[in-house]
Each structure stands twice: as structure tokens, then as C-alpha cells.
Amino acid sequence: MKQDKLIALALLMVAFSAVSGLALITVFIFKEGLPIIVKTGPGNFFLSSDWDPSSGNFGIFSMIAGSLAVTVCAMVIGTVFGLGLAIVLGEFCPPGLAAILKPVVELLAGIPSVVYGFVGVVTIVPLIRTYLGGPGLSVLASSIVLGIMVLPTVTSISMDALRAVPRSYWQGSIALGATKWQTTHMVMLKAAKSGIAAAIILGMGRAVGETMAVIMVAGNTLEVPHGILDPVRTLTSNIALEMGYASGQHREALFATGVTLFVIIMILNTVALVMARRGAGEGRTR
């Protein structure tokens, strides 16, 4: 009995220190980043594209636009292929093959992002430069690399969502004369929609936060992109590129960039969580 209490206490302390560590990091980022936002004025900080630390101009709009452009395009690619793969693996290919392929896809998540970036630089970037024009380092290149990187997340979670749909729906549909494909898009995808939405949003969180691979293929110029062949700089890249030599206000502005990212990702994760909860709730009604 006494031992149980001791163990419980020890575990509580471990949990507490982990949580308080996270809390401290959060407080630290906000403490370092918020003052400069207030000083520059949120309007200037978020809506101006003039980022020139040496003359004290800190506007991150071009990077917000860059992150947005890259993330949206990456999610289009990641969703089309990731969800497609989930459907094929979950509904159409023999279960034995799916049992092998799913872990393989999940393994892709374990490859370090610098490797993705490197592969992007040596294959995708030159291909874009040769066949589509522009510098090659671009929104498109980053989106393709990120799209592949989020594939495991999107595929794996959507597959789980599809698998959690009661088999009786599938049988009911087939028994009415529906083909497998009709059953998939008219019943299964609808029944799994909140889980799939959660998959996409979690993938999106990964895409927004990814840094290394994007730095390698995005070009990192400080301009609002006008097309998918233009180079961009994302919020994450900005921090990673300049942190090494930044000091004073410049350093604070980078923390403020971090705050912006933090808030974006918190929002995405919360939405994903709510979606997943709602999905689980729907499953429970019989």
C-alpha cells in the first residue's frame, strides 16, 4: 500500500515536471516575443512585408504568406495522395498486402527531414527549373517535398478512421447492389469524415512546422510569392536561418515569429482534436 503511494507520487512528479517544462518553454517564448510585437505594432508586424533587421523593420507578412502558400499546396498534394493511398490500402487491395504496405508508409515518417530536403534539391528542384521555368527553388518544390512528408500522417490516420467505420455499413451498401467504389465514396468516406479531417489537419500541423526540408528547397527570398514557381521564405525557415547571428531586437522579432507559429499550430491541433472527438462520438451512436 505504502509502496503504491510512493510510486504514484513519483509518477506524479515526473508528469508534473514534464508539463511544467512545456509550460516554461511556452512562457519563455511569449515573454521574449510579445514585447517586440507590441512595440512594432501588431498591424506593422503581421501585415508589413518589410523585414530588414539591420534598420529595425520587422514585418513578417511575406513569411506568413509563404508559410500559407506552401502549406496549402502541400496539403492539396498530401491529401490527394495520402487519402487516395488510404482508400486503396483500406478498401481495395488484399488485406495481406495492406498489412505490409501500411507500416512501410508509416516508416516514411521516420526518415529525417534533411534527407527529404536533399532528395528535393537534387531531383525535384532541377526538374522544375528545366520543365516549368523559374529558379526551381519554389513554392511548388517545397509543397511536393512537404506533401510527401505528410503522406504517412494523412494515410495512417485516415486508414484508421476508415477502418473504424462499422463493417455493417459496408455490407448494407454492397447488399443494395452498390459497387465497392460507390460504397467507399457514398458511405465509408462520409462515415469517416471527421477522422479524415483530423488526419488532414494533423498533417497540416506537420507541414507548417517543418523547417529543414523547406529551407533546402524554398529559396528563402523575402517576397510575397505571386505564383507557385516563385521562391518563398516560411516562418520556420526565417527563425532557423537567422537565429545564429541575431541579437537584441532582431532576436526578439524571431521569437515573435515563433509565437505566431505557436499560435497557428495550437489552433490547428485544437481543431483536429475536436474533430476526432466528434468522430468518436458519432461512432458511439450504435
Partner 1 sequence: MDFKIQTQDLNLTYGKFHALKDVQIQIKPQSITAIIGPSGCGKSTLLRCFNRMNELIKGVHITGRIHLDGKDIHSPDVDLTILRRRVGMVFQKPNPFPLSVFDNVTYGLRVHGVRRRSELEEAVESSLRATWLWDDVKDKLWGPALALSAEQQQRLCISRVVAVRPEVLLMDEPCSALDPIATGHIEDLMRSLADRYTIVIVTHNMQQAARVASECAFMLLGELVEFGPTIRIFENPKDKRTEDYVSGHYG
Binding site for partner 1 (CB under 8 A): 166, 168-169, 171-179, 182, 186-187, 190-191, 282, 285-286
* Choice between 71 and 183, CB closer to partner 1: 183
Q: What is the CA radius of gyration of the chain?
A: 22
Q: CB within 8 A of 72, min separation 6: which ones?
A: none
Question: How many Å separate Cα 164 from the centre of its chain?
Answer: 23
CB of 182 to partner 1, least distance (A): 5
Report yes or no: 79 and 154 within 8 Å, Cβ to Cβ.
yes
CA–CA distance, 234 with 209 (Å, rounded to integer): 9
CB of 84 to partner 1, least distance (A): 22
* Choice between 78 and 279, CB closer to partner 1: 279
CB of 277 to partner 1, least distance (A): 16
Report yes or no: 195 and 157 within 8 Å, Cβ to Cβ.
yes
> For residue 94, how many other CB atoms are within 10 A of its CB?
7
* Choice between 192 and 208, CB closer to partner 1: 192
* Choice between 52 and 282, CB closer to partner 1: 282
C-alpha distance from residue 126 to each of 132, 215, 248, 260 (Å) = 10, 16, 39, 32
CB of 102 to partner 1, least distance (A): 19
* Choice between 19 and 164, CB closer to partner 1: 164
CB of 286 to partner 1, least distance (A): 6
